[in-house]
Amino acid sequence: MSVFDYTLKELQEKLHNKEITVTDLVKASYQQIEDVDEQVKAFITLDKEAALEKANQLDQEIDQATNPLFGIPIGIKDNIVTKGLRTTCASQLLDNFNDPLYDATVVQKLKNEKTVTIGKLNMDEFAMGSSNENSSYYTTRNPWNTDYVPGGSSGGSAAAVAAREVFFSLGSDTGGSIREPASYCGVVGLKPTYGLVSRFGLVAFASSLDQIGPITKSVEDNAHLLQAIVGSDEMDSTSVDVERVDYTEKLKNGVKGMKIAVPKEYLSDQEGVNEEVRQSVKDALKVFEDLGATCEEVSLPHSKYAVAAYYLIASSEASANLARFDGVRYGVRSENATNMIDMFKMTRSEGFGEEVKRRIMLGTFALSSGYYDAYYKKAQKVRTLIKQDFDKVFEDYDVVVGPTAPTTAFKVGEKTDDPLTMYANDVLTIPVNLAGVPGISVPCGFSEETGLPFGLQIIGKHFDEQTIYQAAYAYEQATDHHKKQPSLGGAK
């Protein structure tokens, strides 16, 4: 067996029994990257020398290790700041941001857990995209079939885990950017409750929507990784001080007696959900019922407005957040300007890609005098209605279940000329961000036509990640979808 076939718990046993070393794990990660990343293109920056040095240090400390993440190689999405390690947001504007002065809070927490950072993962530029085709460097490919996209914006984070280049990774989710690539790549991805995980050190896209979350091979591993990164942070005023819980405590309690809501809108032709995806969800609901849960149809009536509301809110916040990238303090500055005003204009024109410019322009328009009430303010009112839909359902149900994405992954280049169709791919994940509730994607089947994976989305109440993990683990253990591995270059 490959070391990548073991769970975190099994790896810790082998480390303590001296069957393997941290150095072995790090070398295995870099060897896999050398073998497959030319096809997958998951990484932008590697940190091999520092990682091997860290591994050697940790090998001397193994007898004192007490946590499940000790010595495990991890990949970090390239919009999460890492001290001394290049952080680009996959943008040419930050191409020379080689030596950040601090770590994001989540990175520091992982260092405290003694993980080993392998490198920075590719993404859609400034996290704006659903396919990873908006990276200014190259498109990450889906390990199940490299003709297809891995999803976005955390496409590199999901692809690296699926391709067994790292044991787990961190991504960020603004409108589905962890869950959609997790679905497309056949791995487990969680978007935590807004405020559960500090955003300090996450380069902001839409501040009221962004959340950092874990991507792993299994539900149990995901719970361990979330455990390490949660907690309030004085550096992030939106982080919430809630009682710490053990996310693995109720994993094996099963779903007997659990009430599951199934929104009719999430299985509708109108939302573009194809028949294979719809059937895979129905099969998953049958598994839940066989395990003792009750599944009932409900309605989330304002979901149909989610995409329009999201793109107004997210683009407006992006317009404000990205105003700081002007070539003055850090990042690449245009060499063609002859005065200050031209320097601002040319730096942003040359540094930002087309999708980033599109969203900045949309957001600036929505916030402008005379249009603010008609667009941004109205979108925020719709957001409240969407949240109230979830609140009402959660009065009677434990979790909401549906597809993560309406289809499997699409081919590279298939939708690049149609941004509106691309935006619609997030129709099932966006409501979760607007409401601030947590959601997880777990593998739930494979397309007979393409062999590409589907994802099942399980949505929970605010700060009730425990119940989400409980339901996801029960489903995972009753199926074998998570055990399948991609054959690079073509789907199995």
Burial zone of 386 (CB within 10 Å; 0-12 exposed, 13-18 middle, 19+ buried): buried
CATH assignment at residue 174:
3.90.1300.10
Which residues, including other chains, have CB under 8 Å from residue 193's CB and lie 6 or more apart?
211, 240, 436, 437, 438, 462, 463, 464, 465
The answer to whether position 85 is within a domain reads yes
The answer to whether position 49 is within a domain reads yes
The answer to whether position 72 is within a domain reads yes
Residue 6 corresponds to which tokens in the numbers above? 């073991």
Which residues, including other chains, have CB under 8 Å from residue 366's CB and lie 6 or more apart?
312, 315, 316, 319, 372, 375, 376, 379
Helix (H, G, I), strand (E, B) or coil at 358: helix
The answer to whether position 351 is within a domain reads no
- 180 and 62 Cβ atoms separated by less than 8 Å: no
The CA dihedral of 148, 143, 274, 279, to the nearest 10 degrees, is: 160
Task: Give the range of the structural domain holding residue 49, as residue numbers without chain letter.
Answer: 3-252
Which residues, including other chains, have CB under 8 Å from residue 141's CB and lie 6 or more apart?
39, 40, 41, 147, 148, 149, 150, 159, 412
Catalytic residues: 77, 153, 177
Neighbours of 151 (CB within 10 A): 37
The answer to whether position 279 is within a domain reads no
Question: Tens of pLDDT along the chain (492 residues)?
Answer: 789 999 999 999 999 999 999 999 999 999 999 999 999 999 999 999 999 999 999 999 999 888 999 999 999 999 999 999 999 999 999 999 999 999 999 999 999 999 999 999 999 999 999 999 999 999 999 999 999 999 999 999 999 999 999 999 999 999 999 999 999 999 999 999 999 999 999 999 999 999 999 999 999 999 999 999 999 999 999 999 999 999 999 999 999 999 999 999 999 766 689 999 999 999 999 999 999 999 999 999 999 999 999 999 999 999 999 999 999 988 899 998 999 999 999 999 999 999 999 999 999 999 998 899 999 999 999 999 999 999 999 999 999 999 999 999 999 999 888 887 788 889 999 999 999 999 999 999 999 999 999 999 999 999 999 999 999 999 999 999 999 999 875 433
By C-alpha distance, which of 62, 107, 101, 59 is closest to 80? 107
CB environment 392-408: b (16+ within 10 A), e (fewer): ebbeebbbbbbbbbbbb
The answer to whether position 401 is within a domain reads no
CA distance 128 to 197: 21
Neighbours of 223 (CB within 10 A): 29
The answer to whether position 359 is within a domain reads no
The answer to whether position 454 is within a domain reads no
Query: Number of structural domains, the chain?
Result: 1
